[in-house]
Structure 1
Amino acid sequence: MKFTSTADYVATDDLTLAVNAAVTLERPLLVKGEPGTGKTELARQVAASLDLPILEWHIKSTTRAQQGLYEYDAVSRLRDSQLGDERVHDIGNYIKKGKLWQAFEAEGRVVLLIDEIDKADIEFPNDLLQELDRMEFHVYETGETVRAQHRPIVIITSNNEKELPDAFLRRCFFHYIRFPDADTMRKIVEVHHPGIKDALLTTALTQFYELRETPGLKKKPSTSEVLDWLKLLLAEDLGPEDLKLEGTNALPKLHGALLKNEQDVHLFERLAFMARRQR
C-alpha cells in the first residue's frame, strides 16, 4: 500500500515519503504546518489513495482522551432504572463508542484522523500514549479489552499552538508541511482551477507571494485562501491587467479573501501612504 498524489491533492515527494514511512513503521504520522496548508485534507486523500474508509476525530479545547475510547452514560442508566426500563440490565446500552474503538473494531484497515491535537489540554496526548502504542484499551464497566483487529493508519495534525510532550513525539513519525513554492502552487491551482490562463495565474501568484513576504504582516495568507482568491478573480472575469496596483491603491483586488484582520489591511494602507509621500 503506497500513498501517491491524487487527482484532487498534490503531494510533494517529501510528504509522500513521510506518509509511506509512517505506514511502514506502523506509527502515527504527526503533521504540522501553517493553517490552510492541507493537513486535514491529507488524511482524506491518504484514505482515497489507499481506498480505505476514514474516521475523523476533530479535537476541541474541551475534548478528553477518554472520549476517543468510549463514554459511559451513568446518568441515563440511573434514570432508566428509576423508570423500570429493561435496557438497564445491559450496561452496554449506556456505552458510546469513540473513534478509536470504532477504528479498532473495523472489519478492515481504516485511516484515523486526530485533527488539531494541540487544541486540547496539554495532558491529552499523554493520555493516548498507551492506546496508540499497544492498540488496545480496557473497558472498566464491562471488563472487556478492546484490541485492534487491523492496525489503523493514524494521522495526527497540529497547528503548533502548543508544544506536544516528548514522550508522545517519540512515538510518532513527524513531518512539517512547508508552504508550497511557486511551482508547486501552480500544480495545486491547476487541480482546483483547471485551464486557468497562464498570464492571470503568473500575475496573481507574483502578487500573492509579494503580499506574503510583506514585513509586519500579522497573518500570512494560506494555500486555501489563495485558492479562494483565484476563484473570485475567475468569477469576476478579471484579467492580469485588472490586478495591477496603481496610484494610491496598495491593496490587491478582492483582498478580503487574503487579508483576514484589520491590522494587515491598515499595514497596506500605511505602505500606500508612505509611497505617496516619497513621490
Structure 2
Amino acid sequence: MSQKKIIEDLKKLNANQDIDLPAYGSWPASKHCFDDEKVVNALKAALAAQRPLLVRGEPGTGKSQLARAAAHVLGRQFVSEVVNARSESQDLICRFDAVGRLAKAQTLKTETTDDAKIKAELKPEKFISPGALWWVLDWKSADEVHTNSEYQLQRPEAPKGWKPEHGSVLLIDEIDKADAELPNGLLETLGNNAVTIPWVNQTLGNGTSIPPLIIISTNEERELPAAFVRRCLVLNLKLPAADKLEEWLVKRGELHFGERCPADIRHEAARQLLKDRKAAKDLGLTPPGQAEYLDMLRALALFGEAGEDQHTMLAAISDFALKKYPVLHGD
C-alpha cells in the first residue's frame, strides 16, 4: 500500500504550479509557486527514496513554506516542529512527564492501599505526550496515547477529510539551532523510518504505515554532523543571481498581491532590496531576501488601500524592512 501511495504522490508534484495555501494552525494564509524543476525533483527523490530532504539556504528563501506547500499538494497532514537551543532528539519522539507521575504516586499513596489501582493509575503511557515524529509515523497510536494521557501537549491539526492512510509531511525547522546531539540522536530513526517507544515497548513505522515525507531546514548557523547529512538528500535553496533576482521578486510580488502593489512599486522595492543585499553581503551580514521583500509589499498594499502614496511610503519604510543591522544605518 505504501508503494502505491508514493507512486500516486509522485504524479501530483509538478513544476509551474501556483498554490493558494489556506490558514492552517498558527500558519497564516499564503501563496506558493513551484516554478523550479530542481525543487520538485528533490521532493520527488525524497519521497521515492524514503529519505529526509535537508534544505539548506539563507533565511527568507522559502525553506519552511516548501514543506507546507508539499503537504497541501500531496493532500497529506502537515506537522511541524521548530527546533531551539534546548531541543533534544527525544522531544521529537515523545515527552515523558516523570515529575507528574511521581506526584501522582505520592497522592495515590495517601488515598488507597489497592496496589492494582495504583499500578493502573501509574501506567507509563498515561504520562506520555507524543512528539512530531510519533504523529507522522503512526497517527492512530499517537492519537490513542494522547487521548488517554494526563500529559497532553500539542495535538497536530488534521485537515478536513484527512485520514492516516493519506500520509504526512513533517517539517523539522531550523535544526542548526540545536546542539549536535539532536541530529545525532535522530540517525537511527531517520535511517529506518521507525522508532521504538521505550516506556510502552512499541515500534512505530517500519513498514506498518505510510512513510512520511520529512523536510529539515537549516540556515547554516552551525555545521551539521556528517553522519546525519549522509542520511539525507540535500537541496540547496538559493535566490536567483543578482541579474535575474529583480524579475523573480516582481513575479513573486504579483502572485501574492496582484495589482494591490502595481508593477512599478514591485520593481522599485526589488531594486531597493538588491541594493541593500549587496551592502549587507559586503559587510559579511545576512542579507535581506524574499521574506523581507514580501513583508514590505504587504505593508505597501495596505498603505495603498488606506489612501497613502505607495512610492512615498516605500522610501519611508524600506530601512525598517531591509536594513536590520546598525552598521547599515551608519551607526
8 A Cα contact 1:10 1:187, kept in partner: no
Could you tell me which amino acid in structure 2 is paired with residue 238 of structure 1? D
Quick one: structure 1 residues 203 and 141, their matched pair in 2 at CA, closer, same or farther if it must change by over 3 Å? closer
Segments ≥4 residues shifted beyond 4 Å:
none
Q: 1:90, CA displacement in angstroms?
A: 2.2
Q: 1:161, CA displacement in angstroms?
A: 0.6
Which one of the candidate residues 210, 231, 249 is aligned to 1:185? Answer: 249
For the residues of structure 2 that align with 1:159 and 1:38, how far apart are their CA atoms? 11
For the residues of structure 2 that align with 1:258 and 1:189, how far apart are their CA atoms? 16
Partner of 1:38: 62
Partner of 1:3: 13
Which one of the candidate residues 197, 213, 221 is aligned to 1:153? Answer: 213
Could you tell me which amino acid in structure 2 is paired with residue 3 of structure 1? L
Q: 1:202, CA displacement in angstroms?
A: 2.1
Q: Secondary structure at the match of 2:33?
A: coil
Which consecutive unaligned segments of at least 5 residues does structure 1 have?
Answer: 245-251, 268-279
Partner of 1:120: 178
Partner of 1:213: 278
Q: Secondary structure at the match of 2:221?
A: coil
Partner of 2:161: none
Quick one: structure 1 residues 199 and 103, their matched pair in 2 at CA, closer, same or farther if it must change by over 3 Å? same
Q: Residue by residue, what CA displacement relative to the aligned partner does 1:6-35 show, whole Å, maximum 9, x if unpaired?
A: 241123222122112211211101001111
Q: 1:41, CA displacement in angstroms?
A: 1.0
Partner of 1:102: 135
Quick one: structure 1 residues 232 and 75, their matched pair in 2 at CA, closer, same or farther if it must change by over 3 Å? closer
Partner of 2:157: none
For the residues of structure 2 that align with 1:77 and 1:122, how far apart are their CA atoms? 30
Q: 1:239, CA displacement in angstroms?
A: 5.0
For the residues of structure 2 that align with 1:125 and 1:62, how far apart are their CA atoms? 13
TM-score (normalizing by structure 2)? 0.73
Partner of 1:264: 328
Which of 42-51 and 73-82 deviates more?
A: 73-82
8 A Cα contact 2:205 2:211, kept in partner: no
Q: 1:243, CA displacement in angstroms?
A: 8.1
Q: Which has the higher helix share?
A: 2
For the residues of structure 2 that align with 1:32 and 1:145, how far apart are their CA atoms? 31
Q: Indicate the RMSD between aligned Cα atoms, in angstroms.
A: 2.1
Q: 1:77, CA displacement in angstroms?
A: 1.6
Within the alignment, does 1:253 sit opposite 2:322 as a pair? no
For the residues of structure 1 that align with 2:309 and 2:276, how far apart are their CA atoms? 19
Could you tell me which amino acid in structure 2 is paired with residue 173 of structure 1? L
Which consecutive unaligned segments of at least 5 residues does structure 2 have?
Answer: 1-8, 21-30, 112-116, 140-163
Which one of the candidate residues 85, 93, 103 is aligned to 1:61? Answer: 85
Could you tell me which amino acid in structure 2 is paired with residue 51 of structure 1? G
Q: How many residues align?
A: 259
For the residues of structure 2 that align with 1:256 and 1:194, how far apart are their CA atoms? 23
8 A Cα contact 2:276 2:323, kept in partner: no
Q: 1:147, CA displacement in angstroms?
A: 2.5
8 A Cα contact 2:88 2:181, kept in partner: no
Q: Residue by residue, what CA displacement relative to the aligned partner does 1:231-256 show, whole Å, maximum 9, x if unpaired?
A: 3333154355x489xxxxxxx43121
For the residues of structure 2 that align with 1:104 and 1:24, how far apart are their CA atoms? 17
Could you tell me which amino acid in structure 1 is paired with residue 316 of structure 2? K
TM-score (normalizing by structure 1)? 0.85
Partner of 2:231: 171
Q: Secondary structure at the match of 1:138?
A: strand
Q: 1:184, CA displacement in angstroms?
A: 2.1
Which one of the candidate residues 204, 212, 226 is aligned to 2:269? Answer: 204
Which one of the candidate residues 296, 299, 303 is aligned to 1:232? Answer: 299
Within the alignment, does 1:144 sit opposite 2:168 as a pair? no
Which of 44-53 and 86-95 deviates more?
A: 86-95
Q: Secondary structure at the match of 1:30?
A: strand
Partner of 1:275: none
Q: Residue by residue, what CA displacement relative to the aligned partner does 1:65-95 show, whole Å, maximum 9, x if unpaired?
A: 0111122222222211221175534221012
Quick one: structure 1 residues 117 and 68, their matched pair in 2 at CA, closer, same or farther if it must change by over 3 Å? same
Could you tell me which amino acid in structure 1 is paired with residue 234 of structure 2? F
